[in-house]
Amino acid sequence: MQHSTATLLIKNISQLVTMHDPSMIGPKTGARMNDLNIIKNGAIAIRGDRIIAIGESAKLARQVKLAKRSKIVDADKRVVTPGLIDPHTHPVFAGQRAGEFEMRIAGKTYMEIASEGGGINATVEAVRNSSKSQLKENGRKILDRMLSLGTTTIEAKSGYGLTTQDEIKQLVAIRELDNEHEIDLIPTFMGAHEIPPEYKESPDEYVRLVCSEMIPKVVARKLAVFCDVFCETGVFNTMQTRVIMQTAQAYGLKIKIHADELSNTGGAELAAEFDAVSADHLIFAGDEGIHLMQKAGVIPVLLPGTTFFLNMDRVAPARKMIEKGLAVALATDCNPGSSMTESMQMIMTLACLKYKMTVAEALSAATLNAAFAIDKGNEIGSLVPGKYADLLIWDANDYREIPYHFGGNQVSSVYKRGEKVR
């Protein structure tokens, strides 16, 4: 096979975890999540920002054309995987809620704290009092940590402004961070994250504001790809969620939903009804919801960092979802209240231990399936010619070492679009 000239060749890879099964398109569903499509003693050739060839190291080194300026990297028998993708984050905010952490240790629940003036609305107040540049400065620190930990693309939600102006301020911060930072940010409008204090007595009025003003303005300025709603007892009920999702869809936004996180409100069923790209959390999702999601091709995005950090005994039914043929994805839910972490590596460890996922399933969920959860499965998430060269060299010879060595950082180098960025 004749290849065009590579600008970068990474060779001598013990396990090149490609995630690419030539016999299938789409995310890895069910049992296929265990198949990482590893090339042993592999190599990968890149031209500019794209992958041009993968294969066995000795063979590829002979086949691939190199120019004088081409770079050759010896992976020294280490593992290479796609860059990690975090398909559910709230990374642009102000302040911190470490006091709530202590209150939860002392026995208060997340919802109790929220109803007593803490929770999302505490962060909303801090965000309303912050400038866009302050928000960006905070966000940049989080993105820097994510990148060092091997995350190369994230989904990023608004939802701490809850006025038209403050939601737009957050989304503009997200857009500018996307332009300025190595990490790609896929923006989600989440004006329906919480009912702001000034609408406490008239939540339907707030829903009207979201639908008649926020969504049209956000769409007019092309500030979001997705619309997300926190559908939960005491937050947005099923009726309100439906109205918001109908409006968002009519305006061309794709749908995500915080579903069945703290109680079963029929969020999974709603996700299926609206052909949502993903439904997230799903701790309390039932069999019918799971079945309908499978039929509609909705990706369950599971957030084991949240159940861990909220110290919940109950976790999402990951095993059942995989058995039923769903394409499970994982994310951090990085936010100042329920999951203050940037680490997809930690999330994989928790997914293995608490959600009983295999290491291979966790890796599929954090790469290819995560890419499909943000509708980017055709560009990133696996290492195959044509896709962007977003990849990681790990300080490991065997992929199983990744979640096994927990709480730290096993990433050795990060390549984003063919450039070494860490």
28 lies in the binding site for ligand NIG (CB under 6 A)? no
Q: Which residue's Cβ has the minimum distance to ligand NIG?
A: 337
Per CB under 6 A, does 336 bind ligand NIG?
yes
Contact residue for ligand NIG among 18, 158, 240, 306 (CB under 6 A): 306
Q: Are 277 and 300 in contact (CB under 8 A)?
A: no
Q: Is 130 in the site for ligand NIG (CB under 6 A)?
A: no
- Helix extents (H) in 106-255: 110-115, 120-128, 132-148, 164-180, 203-209, 215-220, 238-250
Residues in contact with Fe ion, counted by CB under 5 A, come to a total of: 1
* Contacted entry of ligand NIG, Fe ion, none for residue 261, CB cut-off 5 to 8 Å set by kind: ligand NIG
- Give the H/E segment covering residue 402: helix 401-404
- Total residues in contact with ligand NIG, by rule CB under 6 A: 13
When the beta carbons of 82 and 161 are compared against Fe ion, the nearer one is 161
The binder of 123, among ligand NIG, Fe ion, none, by C-beta within 5 to 8 A per type, is ligand NIG
Which of Fe ion, ligand NIG, none lies near 86, with the C-beta cut-off 5 to 8 A by kind? none
Map the footprint of Fe ion across residues 333-372, applying CB under 5 A.
Answer: 333
Residues numbered 281-340 forming contacts with Fe ion, rule: CB under 5 A: 333
Asked if residue 183 lies in contact with residue 215, where contact means CB atoms within 8 angstroms, the answer is no
Name the binder of 187 from Fe ion, ligand NIG, none, CB < 5-8 A by kind.
none
- By CB under 6 A, name the one of 11, 90, 181, 376 that touches ligand NIG: 90
Q: Give the SS3 label for residue 385.
A: coil
By a kind-dependent CB cut-off of 5 to 8 A, residue 269 interacts, out of ligand NIG, Fe ion, none, with none
**Taking Cα atoms as reference points, which of 339, 356, 327, 274 lies closest to residue 303?**
339
Residue 338 touching ligand NIG (CB under 6 A): yes
Query: Please, what is the minimum distance in Å from the beta carbon of residue 227 to ligand NIG?
Result: 15
Instruction: Report the sign of the C-alpha dihedral through residues 162, 376, 20, 145, in that order.
Output: negative
Select 33 or 192, whichever has its Cβ closest to ligand NIG.
192
With CB under 5 to 8 Å by kind, the binding choice for 337 among ligand NIG, Fe ion, none is ligand NIG
187 binds ligand NIG (CB under 6 A): no
Token output for 127: 């965000």
Q: For ligand NIG, which residue of 240, 335, 369, 413 counts as binding (CB under 6 A)?
A: 335
Quick check: 241 binds ligand NIG (CB under 6 A)? Answer: no
| Contact residue for ligand NIG among 184, 228, 261, 269 (CB under 6 A) | 261
Q: Burial of 267 by CB count in 10 Å (0-12 exposed, 13-18 middle, 19+ buried)? A: buried
Of Fe ion, ligand NIG, none, which one does residue 119 interact with (CB within 5 to 8 Å by kind)?
ligand NIG
Interface with ligand NIG includes 341 (CB under 6 A)?
A: no
Per CB under 6 A, does 399 bind ligand NIG?
no
> Is there binding between residue 231 and ligand NIG (CB under 6 A)?
no
Task: Pick between residue 261 and residue 390 the one whose CB is nearest to ligand NIG.
Answer: 261
Instruction: Return the number of the residue (7 or 158) whose C-beta is nearest ligand NIG.
Output: 158
What gap in Å lies between CA 220 and CA 369, rounded to an integer? 30
Q: Cβ contacts of residue 239 below 8 Å, gap of 6+?
A: none
Nearer to ligand NIG, 29 or 343 (CB): 343
DSSP string covering 296-359: HTPEEEE-HHHHHHTT-S----HHHHHHTT---EE----BTTTB----HHHHHHHHHHHS---H
State how far the alpha carbon of 391 is from the alpha carbons of 156, 209, 363, 382, in Å: 20, 42, 13, 9
Side-chain-side CA neighbours of 116 within 13 Å: the count stands at: 10
Distances (CA, A) of 193 to 77, 258, 327, 375: 45, 9, 25, 21
Q: Choose between 34 and 109: whose C-beta lies nearer to Fe ion.
A: 109
Query: Encoding tokens for residue 185?
Result: 């940010």
How far apart CA 267 and CA 83 sit, in angstroms, is 30
Q: What is the binding site for Fe ion (CB under 5 A)?
A: 333
Q: What is the binding site for ligand NIG (CB under 6 A)?
A: 90, 119-120, 123, 230, 258, 261, 306, 333, 335-338
